[in-house]
Amino acid sequence: MLDNRTIEIVKSTIPLLEDAGVEVTDHFYKRMFSHNPELKDIFNLANQATGRQQFALFSAVAMYAKHIDDLGALGELVERVAHKHVSFDIQPDQYQIVGHHLIETLREMAPNEFSDEVAEAWVKAYGLLANVLIGREHEIYSDYQTKAGGWTGSRLFEVKDKTPESDLVTSFTFVPVDGGEIANYQPGQYLAVKVKPERAENVEIRQYSISDKFNGESYRISVKRESQPLAGLVSNHLHDAVQVGDHIELMPPTGDFFLAHLDKPTVLISAGVGITPMMAMLETLLASQTEQPIWFLHACDNKNQHTYGKQLKTKENQLDKLHYYYWYKQDDSDDEKALSGLLNLDRLQFELPLTDGHFYICGPVEFMRFIKQQLVDLNVAAEQIHYEVFGPHSDI
């Protein structure tokens, strides 16, 4: 535990952390990569370019400072970060590297506010946070070392199938090269793919949601081709260079966003490639033969980008308990059932299980904020709303 003086000092730096601008965050990453270039093989450099990683890191540190005297309030943040770190195979010694450069950056960029006394307090505070995360990550690593089909670090898989699902999304099915078992997962979790694209300077690791129920033999991810060169470095490599029969390294499935209430009415709400974890949830629910009703709500630009559209329509026609609605932003479809514009819940408010259902949301951050606000306005309880952010975490 931290002494009262240390807690007081750390809390006094909250404005500094919350107001850390691009200059401070850029300095931190340039400093760290200059001294420890090996970390470029772990950090997503595309997120560095957009500023999302910098924002996420300093926001998380500021959140920690706010709750330093009540770490129980950080449970969700710790769980999310720990799972993401496991997908990168983060090890305890790397915490010391990041912590050192974080503290030295603040000392260099804000010398008046970040005195030796403040730096000493943050060394203690960061050490406590690191121990909490290292402890949780150790539990996750241990689970995968002991569970059937589990592994830690990377494992070699073969691409068994590659299937276009829409204009932008292609599915990849992987089987283990060693012929052994594969680990079970919760529907909604993701796999980390470790590749070295031809035009990349470093190894790149990306997380992609598993898009099917567990079958004991293979994993399937469905990847959107990104248009921006840097942001799409790995997705374009997968689409263009990776073929059936190729070998690829995968980290074990992980993630804190997953289907947790099979015995309750379920509403799956997605936009774009956010549909991928929803497919794993839907297939799992159907395989469980649940008697609970299911709503599947999806939004995309147009019918050509409607991933899994045909499969979902077929399932709806076969199952009375599945209620499927979809919205096209570009109203150029001859599909009479397609709704136009934004995914608005008003027309469904008397149909949806607002009091006892669980709502799972995945898609662009602004879309999820839009949906969450609608759910809040409909008096859906916070504990009934679950969401997943692709990339660095962002609150909605």
Residue ranges for the known binding site are 85, 190, 206-209, 272-277, 389-392
Active site residue 308: no
The residue from 29, 64, 95, 360 that is catalytic is 95
Q: Which tokens hold the place of 134?
A: 């290292």
C-alpha–C-alpha distance, residues 307 and 138, integer Å? 37
Would you say 166 and 304 are in contact if contact means Cβ atoms under 8 Å apart?
yes
Helix or strand or coil: residue 124? helix
C-alpha–C-alpha distance, residues 218 and 250, integer Å? 12
Would you say 230 and 223 are in contact if contact means Cβ atoms under 8 Å apart?
no
* 3-state class percentages of the chain: helix first, strand second, coil last, to nearest 5: 45, 20, 35
Q: In the 8-state DSSP scheme, what is residue 334?
A: -
Q: Which residues are annotated as part of the binding site for NADP(+)?
A: 272-277
C-alpha–C-alpha distance, residues 240 and 225, integer Å? 10
Pairing of strands 294-300, 266-271: parallel
Per-residue CA distances from 341 to 31, 167, 268, 318 (Å): 45, 20, 19, 27
Would you say 298 and 363 are in contact if contact means Cβ atoms under 8 Å apart?
no
C-alpha–C-alpha distance, residues 41 and 44, integer Å? 8
Helix or strand or coil: residue 210? strand
CA 72 to chain centre: 22
C-alpha–C-alpha distance, residues 318 and 249, integer Å? 38
C-alpha–C-alpha distance, residues 205 and 192, integer Å? 6
Q: Which residues are annotated as part of the binding site for FAD?
A: 190, 206-209, 389-392
Active site residue 137: yes
C-alpha–C-alpha distance, residues 234 and 204, integer Å? 7
Would you say 155 and 250 are in contact if contact means Cβ atoms under 8 Å apart?
yes
Q: Which residues are annotated as part of the binding site for heme b?
A: 85
Q: Which tokens hold the place of 122?
A: 């943050």
The residue from 29, 64, 126, 137 that is catalytic is 137
Q: What positions carry a catalytic annotation?
A: 95, 137
